[in-house]
Amino acid sequence: MTETTDQKPIITAFFDAATNTVSYVVQDPQSSACAVIDSVLDFDYASGRISYQSADRIIDHIREKGLDLVWLIETHVHADHLSAAPYIQQALGGKIGIGSGIRIVQETFGKIFNEGTAFQRDGSQFDRLFEDGDRYQIGHLQAEAWHTPGHTPACMTHLIGDAAFVGDTLFMPDGGTARADFPGGDAHALYRSIRRILSLPEETRLFMCHDYAPNGREFRWETTVGAERAENIHIRDGVSEEAFVAMRSARDATLGMPKLIIPSIQVNMKAGTLPEQDDEGRRFLKVPLNAF
C-alpha cells in the first residue's frame, strides 16, 4: 500500500449520537467517485421502529456534492447498530462489501438465531467478500482491504490513500481497543491485528468507527498511527502481547452486551436486509434466550 499513501481522499464524517457510531463518505479528489463506510439505520428498540434520518443525511450529502457512489463498505458485522447499506444502495447504487470472514459469523450466529436451512451461510447476501490484501478502486483512489481479526472474525481495515478505516479494532488513544469476547473474538489475534495497523507510516490517518468521549471530552474519531503508538492506553509501543491479552481479558469480563446486539447481528449478517414480511406486512426479529 505504500505506493498509494500519497493519495489523500476527501473524508466527511457523520456521527450518530444514539449509537456513538461514525459513518464516512470517502471521495476521490480527482473524480466524483465515493464510498460509504459503516452506515447507520436508525432503530428504536423499545418501539421496534425503523427510521432513516442518519442514512438520509449521507444520501443528501452525496447528491448535493454530485457524487457517484461505487462502494458501501462494512468493516465488520456490527453488534451495536443496524446497517443502512441496502437503503442507501437502493437510492444511489454501489456494491456492498465485507470481509470473507462473514461466513464464520453467519455460521455461528445462524445457529444462535435458529435461522434454519433457508439462511445462506456463504456470504452471498453481499456483493463482494474481501480477502486479505484485496484491492479495489474508488475512482482513481486505490483501496486495499486488510484482514484484522480479533474483535470479530470478519473485521477488515480498509486502507484508502493516506487513510485507514479501522472499524472497531482501535479507538482513539484515550479510548484504547475493542473488546475481544464476542463469539469468534480473540485477544491474541486482536493484538497482532493492531500491531499490523500500527506498522503503517506514522503519518497515516486513522478513522474510528466509534467514540465514547472518555472523561467528558468532545467526540473525536480521527488520529494517526504515530499518536496511537505513542499514547494508546492499551497498546502503545512497549506493551507486550501477554500484557495486552491479560488486560483485555480482565476488562472484557466486566462488560455487558451491547444493547442492540440482538437486532444488529440478525440484520447485519444478512448485509443489512430486514426480515421478510409476513402475510400482513409485518416483520419480526428473534430474541434467543440465554444465548450470550
Per-residue pLDDT, 244: 98
35 φ/ψ angles, rounded to the nearest 5 degrees: -130, 155
For residue 224, how far is the Cα from the chain centroid? Answer: 18
The number of beta carbons lying within 10 Å of the beta carbon of residue 186 is 19
Per-residue pLDDT, 5: 64
Asked whether the beta carbons of 194 and 169 are under 8 A apart, the reply is: yes
| 4 within some domain | no
Angle value at C-alpha 179, between 175 and 183, nearest 5 degrees: 165
| 83 within some domain | yes
The number of beta carbons lying within 10 Å of the beta carbon of residue 45 is 12
Structural domain count of the chain: 1
State how far the Cα of 52 lies from the Cα of 56, in Å rounded to an integer.
Answer: 6
Q: How far is CA 105 from CA 31, 172, 271, 278, in A?
A: 35, 26, 12, 26
| 288 within some domain | no
| 291 within some domain | no
State how far the Cα of 240 lies from the Cα of 244, in Å rounded to an integer.
Answer: 6
| 169 within some domain | yes
Per-residue pLDDT, 292: 74
* pLDDT by 10s per residue, the chain, length 292: 445 567 999 999 999 999 999 999 999 999 999 999 999 999 999 999 999 999 999 999 999 999 999 999 999 999 999 999 999 999 999 999 999 999 999 999 999 999 988 899 999 999 999 999 999 999 999 999 999 999 999 999 999 999 999 999 999 999 999 999 999 999 999 999 999 999 999 999 999 999 999 999 999 999 999 999 999 999 999 999 999 999 999 999 999 999 999 999 999 999 999 999 999 999 999 999 887 7
Per-residue pLDDT, 4: 54
What residues make up the domain containing 147? 9-268
| 287 within some domain | no
| 292 within some domain | no
| 88 within some domain | yes
* DSSP code for 44: E
The H or E element containing residue 188 is helix 187-197
Please report, for the domain that includes residue 248, its CATH number.
3.60.15.10
How much is the pTM? 0.95
